Amino acid sequence: MTNPRNTKAKQAVLNEIANSSFALSQPELFERVKGTCDRVTVYRVLDRLVTENKIHKIVNIDGTINYALCASCDDSHSHAHDHLHFSCVTCKKIECLEEHLIQVKLPETYQIKELFLTISGICPSCQPL
Amino acid sequence: MTNPRNTKAKQAVLNEIANSSFALSQPELFERVKGTCDRVTVYRVLDRLVTENKIHKIVNIDGTINYALCASCDDSHSHAHDHLHFSCVTCKKIECLEEHLIQVKLPETYQIKELFLTISGICPSCQPL
DNA sequence: TTGCAAAACGCAACAATGTTGCATTAAAAA
DNA sequence: TTTTTAATGCAACATTGTTGCGTTTTGCAA
Ligand SMILES: [Mn+2]
Ligand SMILES: [Mn+2]
Ligand SMILES: [Zn+2]
Ligand SMILES: [Zn+2]
């Protein structure tokens, strides 16, 4: 990969991710950009955006992969994903809680690379009165 | 569902999970019990074992679902999964670290149900000397 | 031990999600 | 504008998971 190009498909997908308050899956994204590009292109665009540190993957508690903007890692020098995710059992939406960091201690025999913490529960919007 | 039955397929699958030091996926389990039962049966057995609190699901960082014994929740009265999982980037194995619990604080507007924490990195067995 | 109800199974068919190869198109540099 | 090649479309395939239905097997009771 030399110079990444700014294509219509890439713009459309990134735009949907940027304007969403929660993380979106490939099927959801394809539905939203339908007509703009092919199904396969969405997969390839997502891979590229992840490589370029524009977005990051979030695996939900059921195994579905969702994508969200990299908010705190626009500056390409520090790219850490030690924040927390919240997955609502009611509306099924998953969101980044960037302000909540995680700290874990393990024995020296483990070499830690990345943390994935997702909390399932009921989000503020879905709270019963 | 009234009385669960103890079938050959169920025994075989549970046996593989019990004797493994790391969590296994449906494809891995089917490979190991091949000849004993059908592919679909493995799915159904796994669902039943989860319902019966014999095993629990672990979603790996790539979205694949793995299954491990419920060690600390044999006693059916308390069934909490607030422990931590370690996923090795080298050998791809995922294991439960039952002794490491997680504590998180969130605003009152969030109602927490369950925690899913997976750490990716290099496990003790895969450490370069 | 035998008979019975239904839990569990096998198999085929289908659905969803993700991947690959290759000819064609289009972005951006020259 | 021309040229290079990154990116796309499309078809074909692979993997993972689901559903329906007729058949088998388990556990219980007679
Ligand atoms: Mn995030
Ligand atoms: Mn576990
Ligand atoms: Zn919600
Ligand atoms: Zn390892």
Q: What CATH number has the domain bearing residue B19?
A: 1.10.10.10
Of residues A102, A120, A127, nearest to B113 (C-beta):
A120
Cα separation of B80 and B71, whole Å?
Answer: 11
| Residue A76 within a domain | yes
Contacts of B2 (CB under 8 A, 6+ apart): none
Cβ atoms within 10 A of the Cβ of A55, count?
23
Residues close to nucleic acid strand D (C-beta < 7 A): A 1-5, 7-10, 36-38, 40-41, 44-45, 48, 63; B 3, 5-8, 25-27, 39-40, 43-44, 64-65
| Residue A94 within a domain | yes
pLDDT computed for residue B101 by the predictor: 77
Average pLDDT, chain B: 89
The Å distance, Cα B116 to ligand 4 centre, comes to 20
How many domains are there within chain A? 1
Contact A57, A50 (CB under 8 A): yes
| Residue A73 within a domain | yes
| Residue A68 within a domain | yes
Span CA (B89) to C1' (D21), Å: 43
| Residue A2 within a domain | no
Which residues constitute the domain of residue A65? Answer: 8-126
Beta partners for residue A58, in sequence order:
A66
pLDDT digits (tens, 9 = 90+) for B16-73: 999 999 999 999 999 999 999 999 999 999 999 999 999 999 999 999 999 999 776 5
Cα separation of B36 and B38, whole Å?
Answer: 7
Better-predicted residue by pLDDT, B102 or B54:
B54
| Residue B1 within a domain | no
